Amino acid sequence: MTDGVLNVQNALSSIEEHWQPHRLTSINDYDVKVVRMQGEFVWHTHPDTDEFFMVVEGELTIQLRDRNVTLGPNDVFVVPRGIEHCPQAAGEVRAILIEPKGTINTGDAGGDRTAQLREINEVAR
Please answer whether residues 33 and 23 qualify as being in contact, where contact means their C-beta atoms are separated by less than 8 angstroms. yes
Single out the residue of 15, 24, 35, 37 in contact with its own copies (rule: CB under 8 A): 24
Question: Contact at 8 Å (CB) between 121 and 6?
Answer: no
> Near its own copies by CB under 8 A, which window of 21-29, 37-45, 85-93, 104-112?
21-29
- CB nearer to its own copies: pick between 28 and 116: 28
CA–CA gap between residue 66 and residue 62 (Å, rounded): 11
Applying CB under 8 A, the span of 13-21, 47-55, 84-92, 104-112 interacting with its own copies comes to: 47-55
Contact between 123 and its own copies by CB under 8 A: the answer reads no
Closest CA to 22 of 112, 108, 95: 95
Regarding 121 and contact with its own copies (CB under 8 A), the answer is no
From the list 15-23, 37-45, 93-101, 109-117, the region that binds its own copies by CB under 8 A is 93-101
Q: How far apart (Å, rounded) are the C-alpha atoms in residues 15 and 117?
A: 12
